[in-house]
A and B are shown apart, each in its own frame.
Chain A
């Protein structure tokens, strides 16, 4: 068990700088997810922590001990790779025992640890098989088993579920989370999938272009995104964004879209006339029934029932808006409707800087 801290980390490949001064701490036992689009530097950051990439500037510490110049094998970490990286010529048992054998553990310790890991991961029946004889999910579990037997200070996961099909991915997601709850080992998990990040993390680091956009618990990021990037990256379907100008006066505040439509506001931040991006999540919109005063007029383009929910794609002014309702509204494409906005759930960002306007 250990804490991890990154301090002013920079990374350059040749003259290209890919990480621009990143710093944050991971608490003992925390499940931290690094998420961001491909090329944002999240894997590079993880590989620096693993000791697989040189650190161009800054320091990385595990349990307050700076590890910049410590070899991978002496950092007491274990890593699960996207491609599993199982040794093809070794059985499952040998794969898991490999690191202990290299560390000259005695045969009994090795046997005990492998048996324990196999039990946790339900790999008992496969111990004498070779990786090629296993399914994707089983290989993934062997890769985790190889990490568990080490009993390391930190687990590192590099997009471990990307090679699995959708159904298996959901199952393994739950397994990894359950494993963490059981072992309580500090974990750093890299993914590009925001759903994985949301469902698994204690805290999430959202990265973009080698910088941190925001750090917080999943619901923090969801409810109070610091900027437009996080607002649009977290959540599925993504947050609706309407560009316009902030207006205040008489009865209250609203955002006047470029098309002239008025979108109601709850927040009191921002100055009159400021150019803003108005954000509202699909589930915070509903169909206005009867004459609601500040409903936004729109026209239905597509209706997508999924059973539990219905997703509506509507056109409001020149914006495409998605809304999600739990019911089964009796509407069809072409219908003219009114959108009701929950003003308390509106997010407003400065259009130029992308930063959230503080309430």
Chain B
């Protein structure tokens, strides 16, 4: 029995270790670039001869043409991501509560429409979205990107939160109604506290979606004081002598917050995102 257990584990490890290495390899390269001097960035060594933190210094001091607005652009990314996370939560929680708990008419239709949006890849909608934002005069305004990202993140969020809230016993709502709670009090005092794990998961999902977005950010924002760091990274490639070591350094810095968020909320992410995975 025990031996069987050990061999089963060994087999999983045999698959797991190569997959892990395969996944980690590009990240390791990213890291190598960021600690290598410019001259030896392409040396192809497993560890640089003279590892240095010079690249980080350049980035943090904004000492390169493409890095003139590094801190501002990082702040833009953060501001947009947090706004998208918060506003998507507001929209999706309200919708899920109304459909699942207050059982408003037409709820099923909204759910089906939300599901329908999955069929259209977000990239196809980029040009129509650009046109729409142009009509509203929002181009080159960060609200354009925030609104676009909420649009993209909401259907999935509504779906997941609706499924999760269907799992809360309806008697709780009835008990609260008899206890004298208005729908808003029910929402605030009973629903939101009980949905917290799912809300954290969905908030994180929307936040990271916006943080990692490139296409829409690139289309909707063009002023270099408005763009996110992700778009700024793309601009590096336009240079004749691409400063790879700086690009990689910024990339590494840019990847750290999502990693930290995942790590902090990992316990919610697994449970929260799979909660709505199966239509029950």
Q: Is B127 an interface residue (CB 8 A)?
A: no
Nearest CB in chain A to that of B181: its residue:
A102
Q: Is B63 an interface residue (CB 8 A)?
A: no
Q: Is A77 an interface residue (CB 8 A)?
A: yes
* Chain A residues with CB below 8 A from B181, complex form: 73, 102
Given A85-B174, A88-B194, residue A102 in contact with residue B169 (CB < 8 A)? no
Cα A199 to Cα B185 in complex, Å, equals 39
Interface of B is mostly: helix
- What 7 pairs between A and B have smallest CB-CB spacing? A99-B179, A85-B171, A73-B180, A85-B175, A102-B180, A89-B193, A81-B171
Q: Contact at B178–A79, with CB atoms within 8 Å? A: yes
CB proximity to B under 8 Å, residues A80-102 = 81-83, 85-89, 98-99, 102
* Chain B residues with CB below 8 A from A81, complex form: 171, 174-175
Q: Contact at B179–A98, with CB atoms within 8 Å? A: yes
* Distance of B157 from chain A, by nearest CB (Å): 22
Q: Contact at A83–B177, with CB atoms within 8 Å? A: no
Q: Contact at A78–B193, with CB atoms within 8 Å? A: no
* Chain B residues with CB below 8 A from A88, complex form: 194
* Distance of B233 from chain A, by nearest CB (Å): 42
Nearest CB in chain B to that of A77: its residue:
B178
CB proximity to A under 8 Å, residues B145-181 = 169, 171-172, 174-181
B interface list, Cβ under 8 A from A: 169, 171-172, 174-181, 185, 189-190, 193-194
Nearest CB in chain B to that of A89: its residue:
B193
Q: Contact at A83–B180, with CB atoms within 8 Å? A: no
Q: Contact at B169–A85, with CB atoms within 8 Å? A: yes
Which of A52, A103, A146 is close to B174, meaning CB atoms less than 8 Å apart?
Answer: A52
* Chain B residues with CB below 8 A from A86, complex form: 175
A interface list, Cβ under 8 A from B: 50-52, 71-73, 77-79, 81-83, 85-89, 98-99, 102-103, 146, 150
Cα A81 to Cα B171 in complex, Å, equals 7
* Chain B residues with CB below 8 A from A82, complex form: 171
* Chain A residues with CB below 8 A from B189, complex form: 98
Which of A79, A83, A87 is close to B190, meaning CB atoms less than 8 Å apart?
Answer: A87
Q: Contact at B180–A99, with CB atoms within 8 Å? A: yes
List 19 contacting pairs A-B, 8 Å CB cutoff, sorted by A: A50-B174, A50-B178, A51-B177, A52-B178, A72-B174, A72-B178, A73-B179, A73-B180, A78-B178, A79-B175, A81-B174, A85-B174, A87-B172, A87-B175, A87-B176, A88-B194, A98-B176, A102-B185, A146-B175
Cα A83 to Cα B171 in complex, Å, equals 8
Q: Contact at A73–B178, with CB atoms within 8 Å? A: yes
* Chain B residues with CB below 8 A from A83, complex form: 169, 171
Cα A71 to Cα B178 in complex, Å, equals 8
Which of B171, B177, B194 is close to A73, meaning CB atoms less than 8 Å apart?
Answer: B177
Cα A152 to Cα B190 in complex, Å, equals 22
Q: Contact at B180–A103, with CB atoms within 8 Å? A: yes
* Chain B residues with CB below 8 A from A87, complex form: 172, 175-176, 190, 194
Nearest CB in chain B to that of A78: its residue:
B178
* Chain A residues with CB below 8 A from B176, complex form: 87, 98
Which of A51, A52, A89, A102 is close to B179, meaning CB atoms less than 8 Å apart?
Answer: A102
Nearest CB in chain B to that of A147: its residue:
B178
Nearest CB in chain B to that of A75: its residue:
B178
* Distance of A33 from chain B, by nearest CB (Å): 20
Cα A54 to Cα B232 in complex, Å, equals 59
Cα A77 to Cα B189 in complex, Å, equals 21
List 8 extra interface pairs beyond A50-B178, A73-B177, A146-B179, CB under 8 A: A52-B174, A72-B174, A79-B178, A81-B171, A85-B172, A85-B174, A89-B193, A102-B181
Looking at B174, B176, B178, B190, the one whose CB has the most chain A CB atoms below 10 A away is: B178
* Chain B residues with CB below 8 A from A150, complex form: 179
Cα A102 to Cα B183 in complex, Å, equals 12
* Chain A residues with CB below 8 A from B190, complex form: 87
* Chain A residues with CB below 8 A from B171, complex form: 81-83, 85
* Chain B residues with CB below 8 A from A50, complex form: 174, 178
* Chain A residues with CB below 8 A from B180, complex form: 73, 99, 102-103
Cα A81 to Cα B173 in complex, Å, equals 12
Cα A54 to Cα B178 in complex, Å, equals 15
Cα A307 to Cα B191 in complex, Å, equals 52
* Distance of A188 from chain B, by nearest CB (Å): 13
Nearest CB in chain A to that of B177: its residue:
A72
* Distance of A78 from chain B, by nearest CB (Å): 7
Cα A77 to Cα B177 in complex, Å, equals 11
Nearest CB in chain B to that of A99: its residue:
B179
* Chain A residues with CB below 8 A from B172, complex form: 85, 87
Looking at A51, A82, A99, the one whose CB has the most chain B CB atoms below 10 A away is: A99
Looking at B176, B180, B181, B190, the one whose CB has the most chain A CB atoms below 10 A away is: B180
Cα A163 to Cα B80 in complex, Å, equals 49
* Distance of B124 from chain A, by nearest CB (Å): 42
Nearest CB in chain A to that of B196: its residue:
A89
Looking at B175, B180, B185, the one whose CB has the most chain A CB atoms below 10 A away is: B175
Q: Contact at B177–A52, with CB atoms within 8 Å? A: yes
* Distance of A27 from chain B, by nearest CB (Å): 23
* Chain B residues with CB below 8 A from A146, complex form: 175, 179
Cα A82 to Cα B169 in complex, Å, equals 12
Cα A85 to Cα B168 in complex, Å, equals 10
* Chain A residues with CB below 8 A from B177, complex form: 51-52, 71-73
* Distance of A213 from chain B, by nearest CB (Å): 28
Cα A77 to Cα B193 in complex, Å, equals 26
Cα A71 to Cα B180 in complex, Å, equals 9
